[in-house]
Amino acid sequence: MILAVALCFGVSAPFAQRQGTAHARTTKAHAGNAGNTASDQAWWKDAVIDEIYPRSFADSNGDGIGDLNGITQHLDYLQALGIDAIWIAPMYPSPQVDFGYDISDYENIDPQYGTLADFDRLEAAARRRGVRIILDMVLNHTSDKHKWFIESASSRENPKADWYVWNSGIPANSPGVGEFQKKNVHEGLAPPNNWESFFGGSAWEWVPARKQFYYHKFYKQQPDLNWRNPAVEAAMIDVMKFWLRRGVAGFRLDAIPTLFEDSKLRDEPELGGSNDQGDPNLKEIYTANLPDVHDVLRRMRAMVEQFPGDRVLIGETYPPDTAALDAWYGGAAHDELQLPMDMLVGFGSGAAFSAAYFRRTLDAAETQLHGSQPLIVFDNHDNDRSIDRFGDGGHNVEIAKALATILFTSRDTAITYYGAELGMTTQTPKRKEDVRDPIGITGWPREKGRDGERTPMQWTPGPQAGFSSNPSTWLPLAPNYKTVNVETESADPNSLLNWYKQLIALRHQNPAMREGSMVLIDRDDPDVLAYIRITPDKSCVAVIAINMSPQTKTLRLGLGELGIKDTVVRTLAASDASLRSVTKLESVTLLPFASWVGEVK
């Protein structure tokens, strides 16, 4: 059950009106702020960003694979939902070993997704609707089919010989060479250390033409760039400028903590046991989160701020704690990433649908980031969907509504993922022969891959869920598409989709939700998470309370300490009919997992 009340000392516009005007602010902001620093009202500070996995969103040409024109065809839907920007997972030319995260050309579009002209049409059409485009930018590595790597691998003397991380290895009989390294011996030489690929096996791959190993943090087809070479940084900055000039609003920087490796090539400490790929568990202190990356980010931030319109850098970060997350912002200097992903709220240690868990993680984001804007993430293309991770099997939709309330009413920038607004579920393959994701093939059965969270978008109850005219879609449809889809849920006023629409409209139009600070209240309640949103001039206040237990709860939320004496409320939205007649804040009976939004009169 969820309670959200807004005090704005006036009559609020109905949600229908709010939805229709939600993008006036966004469209105007596209003209941009031509200064060299992001303004306090930068568009991304209260934005809702929707990650789109292009293979899975909409297929316009009937080949069973989503494409850019498919996204363009559904921009009206995204606008109506209230999306401010879409983050598009890689759509560059690629051998598709890692479904686009192995890039062979950074300045073009993979033919299966369309052309540069298609992208330009998408960007222009989105701009007209007040929807910005954010691109995934993979800086850590390229494809092994990229022209840079092909040249680099050809010899030790070519102009790009030092653009990747190469090493001659060590004699296989050297003292200290472990059994893991001995599995990868070539011409009597073993890799220089015990570093592992995230996707299994040694992180070093032998190239006979050079008689050397190259380093790959991920698949062997994804060689790591050598960011200690200034020419590499200059080339990648030029790539980013290519797209910034084409109108993109910023970048989500993939795997940014892995940009640098230990120059001494020291072994990672072993932790004991084995991972899902059957390799030794290692503590990654020499292949991730090295301090060198922060110098690069400061230079990158200065570069994007030369472009008008408050361009933004989002970072894929999995910090162990909030102090580590703060470093990605640049701490008190605020001069690195504007929005490193706070994965601690949605994916942190001990993540559970409980008031204690969310109170702890939200409080840390509010109080330990030097005032920086949190970026909360519950869903993405690499993890089981949140409705499955947090759901109890009996109240999954109600719990999904609660998660949406946290996402859209917290002081944060909100990232959602295509289909989350419908309650799309994770479809984990049941047989190894059905797996498309290589990590699921190599790690089966302990690791089943990421296909489950990447299934096609569910638009209609018709054939192929309206995703494609081709019955052979690149991944099979979820069997629940006949009820969990845009068409069906649009017609149901109580659907998860319509709850998303209402919350996003409230977020955009209510001053407290848009620009208010956030303070947790009733910190000792074991079942209810509650917090205040309040504008700087205290003219608009919102109170959000979430019951995270299956028991009915009666709330007595006292706001007197804030100087707020009003207790009369009117309902704006409620998931249960019994809550629609609520008129008093001082005693609200909230059913298990019910959701209610009201306004103090």
Report percent pLDDT > 90 for the chain: 79
Of residues 423 and 535, which shows the higher confidence score? 423
| pLDDT exceeds cutoff 80 at 137 | yes
| pLDDT exceeds cutoff 50 at 570 | yes
Q: What pLDDT is attached to residue 21?
A: 38
- CA-CA distance, 190 to 167, in Å (whole number)? 10
Whether 196 is in a domain gets the answer no
Neighbour tally for 425: CB within 10 Å:
21
Instruction: Decide: helix, strand or coil at residue 248.
Output: coil
Span 346-367, average pLDDT: 95
Q: What pLDDT is attached to residue 578?
A: 80
pLDDT band (50, 70, 90) for residue 577: confident
- CA-CA distance, 22 to 82, in Å (whole number)? 7
Task: Point out the catalytic residue in the list 233, 316, 336, 388.
Answer: 316
| pLDDT exceeds cutoff 90 at 236 | yes
Whether 356 is in a domain gets the answer yes
The 10s digit of each residue's pLDDT in 276-297 is: 889 999 999 999 999 999 999 9
Instruction: Say which CATH number the domain at 348 has.
Output: 3.20.20.80
Q: Residue 459 sits in which domain range?
A: 43-140+236-499
The pTM of the full predicted model, rounded to 2 decimals, is: 0.94
Whether 443 is in a domain gets the answer yes
DSSP assignments along 101-153, one per residue: SS-S-TTS--TTT--HHHHHHHHHHHHHTT-EEEEEEE-SB--TTSHHHHHHT
- What phi-psi label fits residue 354: left (phi over 0), alpha (psi between -120 and 50 degrees) or beta? beta
| pLDDT exceeds cutoff 90 at 590 | no
Whether 87 is in a domain gets the answer yes
Whether 329 is in a domain gets the answer yes
Q: What pLDDT is attached to residue 499?
A: 94
Instruction: Decide: helix, strand or coil at residue 282.
Output: strand
Domain tally, the chain: 1
The 10s digit of each residue's pLDDT in 248-272 is: 999 999 999 999 999 999 999 999 9
pLDDT band (50, 70, 90) for residue 357: very high
Q: Is 254 a catalytic residue?
A: yes
Whether 200 is in a domain gets the answer no
Neighbour tally for 7: CB within 10 Å:
24
Whether 322 is in a domain gets the answer yes
pLDDT band (50, 70, 90) for residue 365: very high
- CA-CA distance, 481 to 450, in Å (whole number)? 19
Q: Give, for 532, the enclosing helix (H) or strand (E).
A: strand 528-534
Task: Point out the catalytic residue in the list 254, 261, 412, 447.
Answer: 254
pLDDT band (50, 70, 90) for residue 6: low
Q: Is 335 a catalytic residue?
A: no
Whether 197 is in a domain gets the answer no
